[in-house]
Structure formats: C-alpha cells, structure tokens
Structure 1
Amino acid sequence: MAGLLEGKRLLITGVITDSSIAFHAAKIAQEEGATVVLTGFGRMSLVERIAARLPETPPVLELDVTQQEHLDGLADAVGSHVDGLDGVLHSIAYAPPSCLGEDFLDAPWDDVATAVHVSAYSLKSLAVACLPLLKGGGSIVGMDFDARMAWPAYNWMGVAKAALESTTRYLARELGPKGIRVNLVAAGPLGTMAAKSIPGFTMLRDAWGERAPLGWDTSDATPVARSVCALLSDWLPATTGSMVWVDGGVHALGM
C-alpha cells in the first residue's frame, strides 16, 4: 500500500535536534513515501548529524529567513536536489530574551521587530521563495501556539504568533488561486529545545496534561507530526487559511 505522502517532495525547515517537531515530521514523511530536503540555521554540523538519524539521510541546506540572499537562492538550492516541491513546513520561530518572560512593557522595539520578522513575516518570505518550485500547487504548513489568548510569560512571542495566524489567512487568499493551501498546526507544549527556553514552560507543561480531555504527553511529538503530514498530503484538498489544534483538546475548554 502506498504511503500517505508517496511521491511528494517536501521542504522541511527548523530541525534543531531530534526532539524538534520538524524532525518528527520529516521522519513520518519519509516513512509515508516523501522525498525530504531539510534546512537549518546556525549550527549546521549539528543539523547534519541530526539529519543522519532519519530513515534516509536528506540533503541539508542553510537558510536564514531574515537574509534576502538566502531566500533568493533557495529555489535553486532546493532545485538541485528535487525537481519541484509539493509541500513546505515552516517550523521557525525566535524571540530575544526581553520578549519572553521579561516585563511585557519593557521589551524594546528592535527585539519585538526581530520576533515578528523571524516568527511571522518569514512565513510569507518562505512561501514567496518556494513559489518557483510549487508550480503544481501544494501545501504550506506552519507551526503555531494558539495566540487567541495571553499566555503567562509568552508575551511578545504570543503577539508574533498572532501575526503568524493572520499572515496565514492572507497567504491563503493570495496563493489559493495558484492551488496552494496554507494552514497552521497549533501544538500543545512539547519538550523541544525551543520550548525549554521559555520561562515558565515547566508549569505550563505540567498543567496541560491534567486539563486535556484526551491527555497530553509532552515527550511525544508524534501526534503533532502526523497532523502536519496530513496537511501536507492530498487528504485535505479544500482546507486553507485554517488552524488545526493538536493539543489534547485544551483549546476547547474554559477555565
């Protein structure tokens, strides 16, 4: 039986360690028949070592989404490994320390601008950079943490995620006529390197499993990765501009 992503060509960004959501999405995508190209930023030797732990070692490209020259060269770099793309996972976010856990009122604009640029505007940048390879349409998926409410300590990253959610809707409008769907997966807290850098994460993590109707295992990214792969597949052909919650059901509850 063919896999869910048999024959699909995917670009997956944001692999840092093997606990990364992007790593698990790449693993399941390969198991489901996809050809994967990864991007990383910064410690590229580490990303390459992590990539070697996948079922098949994929090509790894360096991508800084704030550098226009990286974006301008992305299609050619990816195109040297695959003859096009069917899907893209945007799993990129960053906020300076002043924007996470510090006084919300004290964060300087330069730091806030960095958070919004890397965590929200980059979804548009990545989509535009990949357009030459998405000639047959496809699916762009971004990673979110539900920004409908103010979370403790999340502060300006929460604002950036709200911008990401809005960006998704506008991209869905612009890219729909090209046959490209744009959606988000809003994951519950997981024990990724990025999450562990958030002040107060432990308290949030410990409370989540108690509140989730389905329960929640912060050490298991598989449910989130499977949902990402479902959106990258052909099985949700009329879904765009949407946010899929994969959080055990916490988003549906009141206090």
Structure 2
Amino acid sequence: MTLLDGRSVLVTGVLTEGSIAFHTARIAQEQGAQVVLTSFGRQMRLTEAIARRLPVPAPVVQLDVTSDDDLAALAERVGEHAERLDGVVHSIGFAPQSVLGGRFLEGTWPDVATALEVSAYSLKSLAVAARPLMSRGASVVGLTFDASVAWPVYDWMGVAKAALESTSRYLARDLGPDGIRVNLVAAGPIRTTAAKSIPGFEQIEGDWDRRAPLGWDVADAEPTARAVVALLSDWFPATTAEIIHVDGGLHAMGS
C-alpha cells in the first residue's frame, strides 16, 4: 500500500518542474494518487506541457480562482476526470510588484486587494468549489510562508499569507463537521517562479542554510512536497487547522 493509494487529488499552481506544486503532483502519483491539475489563460499551455513530464500525464482543467464562472464549473470539469476528490492542494499566490520589494507604505488598496483575493480568499473559494466532490476523510492543504513575523521585501504578500493562515483555521472549523481537514505547510524559501518575482528575494534567503538547525536547500522543493502529500494521506486523520513547518527548523530559532 502507498500513502495515496486509490485517492484522487486536485493540484493547483503547476507552472514549472521546480515548483512545489509540480513535486507535490509527482510524489502524489508515485504514492498511488490520480492527479488532476488546474491552470488558466496563457498559462494553460505551459501547465499542459509540464503535466506531460509527470510519471503519468495529468489532465488540466480551467480554473481562475477570481472567476465566479470557473469556480462554479470546477466540480463538473474535474468530474470529467475523477469521480471524487480526496485531496485539494492550494498553491496559489500573487501580488502586484507595487506592493512588494520595500513598497509597503506605498501600497494602494486596489493592488493590496488583488494580493488578498488571489493569495488568501482563494483558499476559501477553491475549497467551496471543490466541496461537492469531497467526502469524509478528504484533505485540503495549502502553502504558506511563516506570517508570524515581518520579512524583508515580502510586504503585502506577508499580510496576504497571514490572511491565508487565518482563512485555513476558519475553513477547518466549518468543514470539520463534514470530515474534511484543512492544513497548511509553511515552507522555507524555495527559488520558485513566484519567489523570483519578488524584488530582493535574496534578502529573505539570506543565510537560511546556516541558521536552520537542519540546513536548507533553496533549490529543493521535494521536502515541502513530501509534507503536503503526507497531509493529503489518511496518516493525519485527526489533524486540522495546523501549520506544519518545513524550513529546516529556522522558525523556532532566535534571530
């Protein structure tokens, strides 16, 4: 038996082979899961190309998490490939450049609102849209970057991650009676496409590898992906509203 034997998982955010989402989809398949991916707009072709590099080519369905039409159609679109969903992975985040890179005080509400909608509110939107296909034992797992402190250059994305973490707790409360778990994985810095788009990202990386008790490889997304897959499995049947840190242990160290 493998961790996800017989389970069906929806994974968002697969854009490159170096992404946490790609490694999550790959490991989920290796652990027995049927995987369906989402993408939208001009990214669809990129995701479809990357999907063919998985151990088993995965179908890609249209989903813009800011589109009411796409959200309303998600269950039907996924249902063409999977009868049910046992897991949903939220790997979605975006903030305009105007609210990153040391521009916290200059951030305007329209741009901040975009960051909050795409990076935090979308967790609720995705969970509700997928809910018709989920039953008891299903698991929703999102990705965060420790929002308990103020990071250099992260600015309003840090605020969005704090909102994401709070959203996950309320979702856990409201979906718990249905037997659906909601958890987050707080990863250390990974050089993904999203991270590289943050001006001054190297200030966050800093000397993370030296300060983390276990060390840290900013080019290796697999440890984070393994944690996501573990939370998707039934090995955490009574764990919800939790944030699992996969950062080499740095979050627990003094500055």
Q: TM-score, normalised by structure 1?
A: 0.98
Alignment of 1:81-92 (within 5 A): 81-92=81-92
1:51 matched to 2:45: no
Show the 5 A alignment for 1:79-118.
79-118=79-118
Percent identity for Structure 1 against Structure 2: 64
For 1:126, the equivalent position in structure 2 comes to 126
- Correspondence 1:26 to 2:25: yes
User: Aligned equivalents of 1:184 and 1:178: distance in 2?
Assistant: 19
Return the letter of the residue paired with 1:237. P
Q: What SS does structure 2 have at the residue aligned with 1:135?
A: strand
Q: CA deviation at 1:193?
A: 0.5
TM superposition shift of 1:206: 4.0
Distance apart, 1:13 and its partner CA: 0.4
State the 4+ residue runs in structure 1 displaced beyond 4 angstroms. Answer: none
Tell me the CA shift for residue 102 of structure 1: 3.9
Q: Secondary structure at the match of 1:87?
A: strand
Q: How many residues align?
A: 254
| 1:251 paired residue number | 251
Partner Cα separation in structure 2 for residue 159 and residue 136 of structure 1: 32
Alpha-carbon distance in structure 2 between the residues aligned to 1:10 and 1:103: 37
Q: Residue 162 of structure 2 aligns with which residue?
A: 162
Distance 1:103 1:198 in 2: 11
By how many angstroms is 1:137 displaced? 3.6
5+ long unaligned stretches in structure 1: none
Letter in 1 for 2:2: G
1:59 Cα deviation from its structure 2 partner? 0.5
Alpha-carbon shift at residue 198 of structure 1 (Å): 1.0
Unmatched segments (≥5 aa) in structure 2: none
Q: How many Å apart are 1:73 and its aligned residue?
A: 0.0
Question: What SS is found at the alignment partner of 2:139?
Answer: strand
Distance in 2 (alpha carbons) for counterparts of 1:216 and 1:196: 17
SS in 1 for 2:65: coil
- By how many angstroms is 1:205 displaced? 1.9
Give the distance between the partners of 1:41 and 1:212, measured in 2 at CA: 37
The one-letter code of the counterpart of 2:222 is T
The whole-number CA distance in structure 2 between the counterparts of 1:32 and 1:56 is 12
Q: Deviations over 1:194-222 (max 9, x none)?
A: 01111221232241111110000111111
Q: Which amino acid aligns with 1:72?
A: A
Residues 151, 204 of structure 2: 8 Å contact kept: no
Aligned-residue offset at 1:238: 0.6
TM-score (norm: length of structure 2)? 0.98
In 1: Cα distance, 2:207 partner to 2:197 partner:
18
The residue number in structure 1 matching 2:16 is 17
> Cα distance, 1:103 vs. partner?
2.0
SS at 1:151's partner residue? coil
2:209 is aligned with 1:185? no
User: What is the rounded CA distance, in whole Å, between the counterparts of 1:6 and 1:68 in structure 2?
Assistant: 32
- Which residue number in structure 2 is paired with residue 69 of structure 1? 69
Question: Which residue of 1 is the match for residue 35 of structure 2?
Answer: 36
Deviation by residue 1:63-84 (Cα, 9 ceiling, x = unmatched) = 1000000000000000010100
> How big is the shift at 1:136?
3.3
Counterpart secondary structure, 1:136:
strand
What is the 5 A alignment of 1:217-232?
A: 217-232=217-232
